[in-house]
Amino acid sequence: MNLDIERVLEILEEQVLQSTGRYLSKAEKAVIKGTWDGKEYRDIASDSGYSVQYLQTGVGPQLWTMLSEVIGDAVQVKKAYLKNILIKFTKKYYMELEASKLDNESLVGKTKVYGKLPKIVNFYGRQEEIGDLKKQINIFQESCITVTGVGGVGKTLLIAKVIEEILFEHPNRYDYVIWKSTNRSSSINDLLSEILMIFDVEASNKPLTTKISLLSKQFQAHRCLLVLDGFEKLVEINNYEKKLEYEDFFVGLTNEDHQSYIILTSQIPLEEITHLTTSFSFFSLQLEGLEERAALQMIHEKGLGGEKCRQLIEMYRGNPSELEAVINKIHRFFEGSVERFFEYSTTMMGPQIQAMLHVQFGQAGFLNDLQKQIMIYLARQMSKIPTPIPFSKLVDGLKEQSSLEVSISELITAIDVLERRSLIESSKKSSKQEVSYSLQPVVKKYILVDPLGLVNKEENKMATSHFM
């Protein structure tokens, strides 16, 4: 994809025509073109034959105002950063074009794109994460990246954005981008067969190890980016045999000296998914909510304002899908007033976080009894006094709650898992202070309300299991 100004102008004009019903004038085109080339009004004037005065006062200001509305995306278009805005705009246009061209197969530069990338309509913040991930992929130390975090925090969208930027910046670097959304009915075996099909390799009846080495050969022959989105859906973390398979998969596909990359999004960290008897290195990012600035932008663009917006962000830890859900509720039930919403001091749970917690509490292999007990204890304590619980209090409290001897090492392991899955939060004010744990409000609410009865279902089992 060559971004020459003629093509940019064509796309821009189409957009202007759609929004305003008119074409760009010759003078406007001259100003845009000149600005793209870094020229001042003076030079644009002498190139185009218009007077400086006319371009500067009769064309420029009106043009920037019009463009702000048409392509500004809430940013005021000015001469100084027109080029950046145009690049961003054109990039978005191309991605939408590619996405709409073909459902399952398209071409960007020389890269064949397979699978359905999520459509990015509004994207806020995450500049740092995008930069880090792109850097990782570019420097190529590890050939696997994992992004973990709670459901709805934005893992899928973030990776889609990273892929979009890579395709835009290096349309000829990769031969294949393969986007695979995993689901509960698929297995690593099926997944491999499906991916091999893309390379015209028929292997559905071959054993797993053969499939892995066949794919590894493809990874050597072509530069590929393989995205496995929502990998937690596929895994069975309490199945030892399966864990060995996952290990074979990741070790077999990342150890080789190739220039392909596996990108994984998952609610469960890869350390827990694979058994990891063999060492293999990967880059991992534990994704948290949006930073305040981005979250505020999102809230404002969705029509809410006022002092309490920051409190809303804090309450939902900047989780974009949670914020989206609560913003909709505030519009529907509180006349768009964040203040009124807070008068009711309630916590709303969005559908994505609930879906995730249903899985964590309800599906075998996700949370064990001790992990559940820790969360239940924190929820109950925090409903009485909403402050973080110090580690020692947690130990004593758990003993009381479940009348059991809980070994410290087991407790620490459980806490580690919960933290890495972003299900609990830790805080420590200084190195001398004891570490404390808490739950974010939505998680606390889920446990206390227990909408599907999944939290309390297993509770009695605790009395009969034993931790040493």
Ligand X SMILES: Nc1ncnc2c1ncn2[C@@H]1O[C@H](COP(=O)(O)OP(=O)(O)O)[C@@H](O)[C@H]1O
Interacting residue ranges for ligand X, rule: CB under 6 A: 122-126, 149, 151-157, 265, 298, 320-321, 324, 352
Q: Does 156 bind Mg ion (CB under 5 A)?
A: yes
Beta bridge partners of 229: 181
Q: Is 143 within 8 Å of 262 (Cβ atoms)? A: yes
Binds 373: which of ligand X, Mg ion, none (CB < 5-8 Å by kind):
none
Beta bridge partners of 451: none
HSE (side-chain half, CA atoms, 13 Å) at 437: 25
Of 351 and 451, nearer to ligand X (C-beta) is: 351
- CB of residue 180 vs ligand X: minimum separation in angstroms? 14
Binds 93: which of Mg ion, ligand X, none (CB < 5-8 Å by kind):
none
- Give the range of 29-37, 228-236, 291-299, 400-408 binding Mg ion by CB under 5 A: 228-236
Q: Is 189 within 8 Å of 225 (Cβ atoms)? A: no
- CB of residue 53 vs ligand X: minimum separation in angstroms? 43
**Residue with nearest beta carbon to ligand X:** 154
Strands 436-438 and 425-427: antiparallel
Of 99 and 379, nearer to Mg ion (C-beta) is: 99
In whole angstroms, give the CA distance from residue 41 to residue 462: 76
Q: Is 336 helix (H, G, I), strand (E, B) or coil?
A: coil
What does 111-174 look like in DSSP terms, one character per residue? EEEES-PPP-S-----HHHHHHHHHHHHHTS-SEEEEE-STTSSHHHHHHHHHHHHHHH-TTT-
DSSP state of 4: -
Q: Can you state the angle between helices 5-20 and 26-36, rounded to 10 degrees? A: 140
**Residue with nearest beta carbon to Mg ion:** 156
Which residues inside 230-269 make contact with Mg ion, applying CB under 5 A?
Answer: 230
- Give the range of 134-142, 206-214, 224-232, 303-311 binding Mg ion by CB under 5 A: 224-232
Of 125 and 388, nearer to ligand X (C-beta) is: 125
- CB of residue 101 vs ligand X: minimum separation in angstroms? 22
Binds 321: which of Mg ion, ligand X, none (CB < 5-8 Å by kind):
ligand X
- CB of residue 311 vs ligand X: minimum separation in angstroms? 20
- Give the range of 153-161, 189-197, 286-294, 443-451 binding Mg ion by CB under 5 A: 153-161
Residue 321 is encoded by which pair of tokens?
Answer: 């899908």
- CB of residue 177 vs ligand X: minimum separation in angstroms? 17
- CB of residue 312 vs ligand X: minimum separation in angstroms? 15
Binds 28: which of Mg ion, ligand X, none (CB < 5-8 Å by kind):
none
Residues contacting 47, CB < 8 A, separation 6+:
30, 34, 39
Of 325 and 414, nearer to ligand X (C-beta) is: 325
DSSP state of 281: -
In whole angstroms, give the CA distance from residue 307 to residue 202: 60
Of 119 and 457, nearer to ligand X (C-beta) is: 119
The residues binding Mg ion (CB under 5 A) are 156, 230
